[in-house]
């Protein structure tokens, strides 16, 4: 039998939507299995705040929108509650997609008027990272209310949305790549850095939080490009991250970060289990 329970002050923070990861994930996981803590949560929950949570969630889910994404996802065989969750993920909304498309179009146009795809290759990996970062956290995320009113494994929720946002981001980057046929496969050199940045950002989020981690990773990417650009001997050469060696490093970083993320997931589960 488990002897660890969510502390009352944490339950209070949880009820108010103020509990942060990784405690949030531990509480999520524990609440699914522990009726005692669910009762405690109901006790400390401000009924007004909980109602507001439901209302905001209702408003988000019932807001008139084409429903195209949701029905498409369901047609692809995705369970309807997950399709609903994804459709309520803000970065999959039109405003986010529109800004990504605008950025990519601008960059593609700029690149087409020069003789190097570097600008596009530098920007493209940042977009999926930013998308995943923005799909995280209460300030930007209406599905956060869903986690508050209907506790679900936080890590699973994070993974479902990450995959969706990543697929959308990589898909848009891929379309932009098609607009640069002159560079052939060279124009695809953003893909491995994009995976490396997103995976590293996610793995560090567990330690550094949802703002610092992606900012640090994005900043490092820009710094790396500036440094390799400064060391460039001939203007026509590709920057180090876009050479074969650089791509190998990016693949290794992506794999390492994915492994780290997996290990940290286990640690979140152990955080509950260690007190048993
Ligand atoms: Zn408990």
Query: How sure is the predictor about 160, in pLDDT bands with cuts at 50, 70 and 90?
Result: confident
Q: Are residues 188 and 155 in the same domain?
A: yes
How far is Cα 217 from Cα 220, in angstroms, rounded to an integer?
Answer: 5
Per the structure, the complete domain to which residue 33 belongs is given by 8-62
**260 alpha carbon – ligand 1 mean position (Å):** 28
* Mean pLDDT for the chain overall: 76
**32 alpha carbon – ligand 1 mean position (Å):** 9
Does 175 map to a domain? Answer: yes
Q: Phi first, then psi: what are they for 145, rounded to 5°?
A: -60, -35
Q: Are residues 52 and 128 in the same domain?
A: no
pLDDT at 229: 86
pLDDT at 269: 40
**30 alpha carbon – ligand 1 mean position (Å):** 6
pLDDT at 220: 96
Q: Are residues 90 and 33 in the same domain?
A: no
**3 alpha carbon – ligand 1 mean position (Å):** 8
Average pLDDT over residues 8-36: 81
Does 12 map to a domain? Answer: yes
| Alpha-carbon separation of residue 20 from 14, 61, 154, 172 (angstroms) | 8, 24, 11, 31
Does 113 map to a domain? Answer: yes
Does 18 map to a domain? Answer: yes
pLDDT, tens only, 244-262: 899 999 999 999 999 998 8
Does 3 map to a domain? Answer: no
CB burial of residue 1 (10 Å; 0-12, 13-18, 19+):
exposed
pLDDT, tens only, 30-81: 887 788 888 888 788 766 666 666 666 666 555 545 466 677 777 777 776 6
**42 alpha carbon – ligand 1 mean position (Å):** 13
CB burial of residue 201 (10 Å; 0-12, 13-18, 19+):
buried
How far is Cα 207 from Cα 212, in angstroms, rounded to an integer?
Answer: 10
Q: Are residues 111 and 31 in the same domain?
A: no
> Considering only CA atoms, which of 248, 172, 152, 261 is closest in space to residue 217?
261
**28 alpha carbon – ligand 1 mean position (Å):** 11
Q: Are residues 94 and 115 in the same domain?
A: yes
Whether this prediction's pTM lies above 0.85 is answered by no
pLDDT at 268: 42
**8 alpha carbon – ligand 1 mean position (Å):** 10
The residue among 229 and 265 whose pLDDT is bigger is 229
pLDDT surpassing 50 at residue 270: no
**261 alpha carbon – ligand 1 mean position (Å):** 26
Q: How many domains does the chain have?
A: 2
């Amino acid at each position: 039998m488990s002897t660890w329970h969510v502390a009352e002050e944490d339950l209070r923070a949880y009820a108010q939507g103020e509990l942060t990861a990784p405690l949030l994930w531990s509480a999520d996981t524990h609440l699914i299995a522990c009726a005692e803590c669910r009762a405690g949560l109901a006790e400390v929950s401000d009924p007004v705040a909980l109602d507001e949570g439901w209302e905001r969630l209702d408003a988000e889910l019932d807001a008139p929108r084409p429903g195209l994404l949701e029905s498409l996802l369901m047609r692809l065989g995705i369970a309807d509650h997950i399709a609903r969750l994804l459709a309520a993920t803000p970065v999959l909304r039109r405003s986010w997609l529109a800004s990504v498309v605008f950025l990519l179009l601008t960059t593609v146009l700029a690149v087409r008027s020069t003789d190097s795809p570097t600008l596009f290759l530098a920007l493209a990996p940042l977009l999926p990272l930013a998308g995943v970062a923005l799909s995280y956290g209460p300030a930007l995320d209406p599905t956060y209310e869903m986690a508050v009113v209907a506790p679900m494994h936080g890590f699973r929720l994070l993974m479902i949305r990450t995959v969706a946002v990543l697929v959308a981001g990589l898909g848009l980057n891929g379309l932009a790549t098609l607009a640069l046929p002159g560079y052939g496969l060279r124009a695809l050199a953003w893909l491995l850095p994009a995976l490396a940045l997103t995976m590293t950002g996610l793995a560090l989020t567990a330690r550094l939080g949802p703002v610092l981690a992606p900012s640090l990773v994005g900043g490092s990417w820009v710094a790396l490009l500036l440094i390799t650009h400064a060391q460039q001997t001939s203007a026509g050469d590709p920057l180090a991250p876009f050479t074969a060696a650089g791509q190998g490093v990016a693949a290794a970083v992506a794999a390492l970060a994915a492994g780290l993320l997996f290990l940290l997931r286990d640690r979140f589960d152990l955080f509950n289990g260690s007190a048993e």
